[in-house]
Amino acid sequence: MKLRTIKKKLSDFNAFLHRWLGLISGLVVFILGITGCIYVLEPDIKNVAYRDRLFIQPSEGTPLSLTELTRIAQDTMGDIPLVSIQANTAPNRTFRANAMLFNPAGTHYFNTIQVYYTVYIHPYSGKIVYIENTKHEFFNIILYLHYNLMLGMVGKYIVGWSTVIFIALLLSGLVLWWPWNKHMRKRSFRFGWKKTTGWKRKNYDLHNVLGFYSLIVCLILAATGLVYTFSWFNQGYHRALTGNALLTGSRPVSDTTVNITSPEAPLDRLWNRLQLEYPDLSSVFFLLPTAAQGTYIAYIDYLEGNKYKEKRYHFDQYTLQELPFADHFAKRYEDLSVREKIYRQNRNIHIGAIYGLPTKIIAFIASLIAASLPITGFLIWYNRKWGKKKKSRDNEQRTRTKERRN
């Protein structure tokens, strides 16, 4: 078999895979692209759109204790238990408490999260600033659409494998795009549109040219997203990056055999302790124990919206002793190696926050282009399959009309 024939067959097979894999995964990739570009700017949009609930005018005096603020939130929610709170060091931020009823046997978002509210409280006066129905809040819906299409574990794996297919499409698309001669090179890197250029040609160029220029960023966004879907990919990515296995272990539990009496004002004691240990922290997010063996889990945040410096603690709910655990967030960011720091930055890389607004804009544009690729690709396929037939039928109709007139 001649080399040219082999190349032709490989090229045809690549085009076949690109076409049908694109049709199979197109809708999911579109959803991921749209929700991704919205979620990239979520903190910035929230700080403007939700200003009245997130921020307050700083008051003189001392803020109320976390114990008192948590009591106010629980009284407001009634029988719906609080699952977490967030305390801030900034004097112009509200105290936040989350209340939720969760159904672990649920199969999709709406029957898994039965009730989910966020209470925003003025930390100095104890006044309720806002009660948010977080279950139906816009950005929470966007997050779960992006994470699992709101379809639980089934949706999570649909998203994961669609992302794998998207990576394959990017690489096969690069092969299809590759300019093999001088004439193709002139048309592959830019939009050579004229006044007479038809919409089909423009659509073809949008698919190819934008796909090429967004290729690297889209590959990075897709690969970093797979970390949150497949444990095997997460393990392999960590080992390839750092040379070490990813630390994983069971969550520590409180010792119910020593003391089953809850200490006085545990949240205030932990809050004061963490502030002394980390004078530059911006906030602490506490997950509250909901069972007898549950623990207080504290997430120390230095930079709002940037989780890479986050430090995690587990505390026994009865003794408030720190409990050891195996996790990559067990270490301080400053104590990590360079490669471990890159792994810790995975979330920031995925949402484009690694270098602030400039990289957010890049991630936003790349996500928007990713969302457009299934649309422009579908139009290319449709026009090639049915466009010529429709044009032929139109020509036949015009010919018959002329014959009748004559």
User: Which residue type is seen at 96?
Assistant: R
**pLDDT(155) > 70:** yes
Sequence-distant (≥ 6) Cβ neighbours of residue 155 within 8 angstroms: 108, 147, 148, 149
Rounded distance between C-alpha atoms, residue 274 and residue 87, angstroms: 11
- pLDDT at position 392: 54
- pLDDT at position 403: 46
Integer angstrom CA distances of residue 159 from 27, 165, 371: 11, 10, 14
Among 227, 210, 200, 234, which residue's Cα sits nearest to residue 348? 227
CB distance 121 to 129 below 8 Å:
yes
Which residue carries 């029957």 as its tokens?
Answer: 111
Window from 106-120, 167-181, 243-257, 335-349 with minimum mean pLDDT? 243-257
- pLDDT at position 335: 84
Paired tokens of 79: 């029988």
Window from 119-133, 158-172, 335-349 with minimum mean pLDDT? 335-349
Which has more confidence, 247 or 254?
Answer: 254
Model pTM?
0.88
CB distance 256 to 292 below 8 Å:
yes
- pLDDT at position 406: 47
CB distance 85 to 286 below 8 Å:
yes
Rounded distance between C-alpha atoms, residue 348 and residue 359, angstroms: 10
- pLDDT at position 10: 84
Q: pLDDT tier at 177 (50, 70, 90 boundaries)?
A: confident
Window from 80-94, 129-143, 245-259, 270-284 with minimum mean pLDDT? 245-259
Among 197, 208, 270, which residue's Cα sits nearest to residue 18? 208
Paired tokens of 217: 């960023």
Alpha helices in 197-308 (DSSP H): 199-213, 215-226, 231-242, 266-277
| DSSP classification of residue 189 | S
Paired with 87 in beta bridges are 284
Q: pLDDT tier at 185 (50, 70, 90 boundaries)?
A: low
- pLDDT at position 259: 66
Over residues 100-107, the mean pLDDT reads 93
| DSSP classification of residue 279 | T
Q: Where are the domains of the chain?
A: 3-40+150-243+357-396, 57-123+250-325
Q: Is the dihedral of CA 163, 35, 103, 85 positive or negative?
A: positive
Sequence-distant (≥ 6) Cβ neighbours of residue 124 within 8 angstroms: 56, 59, 61, 62, 63, 64
- pLDDT at position 395: 53
How does DSSP assign 317-382, residue by residue?
TTT--B----STTSS-GGGS-HHHHHHHTHHHHHTT-TTSHHHHHHHHHHHHHHHHHHHHHHHHHH
**Residue 41: strand, helix, or coil:** coil
Among 116, 97, 117, which residue's Cα sits nearest to residue 106? 116
**pLDDT(78) > 50:** yes
Half-sphere exposure of 166 toward its Cβ, with a 13 Å CA cutoff? 35
Mean model confidence pLDDT for the chain:
89
**pLDDT(391) > 90:** no
b vs e for 58-67, b when ≥16 Cβ sit within 10 Å of the residue's Cβ? eeeeebbebe
Q: Is the dihedral of CA 58, 60, 66, 70 positive or negative?
A: negative
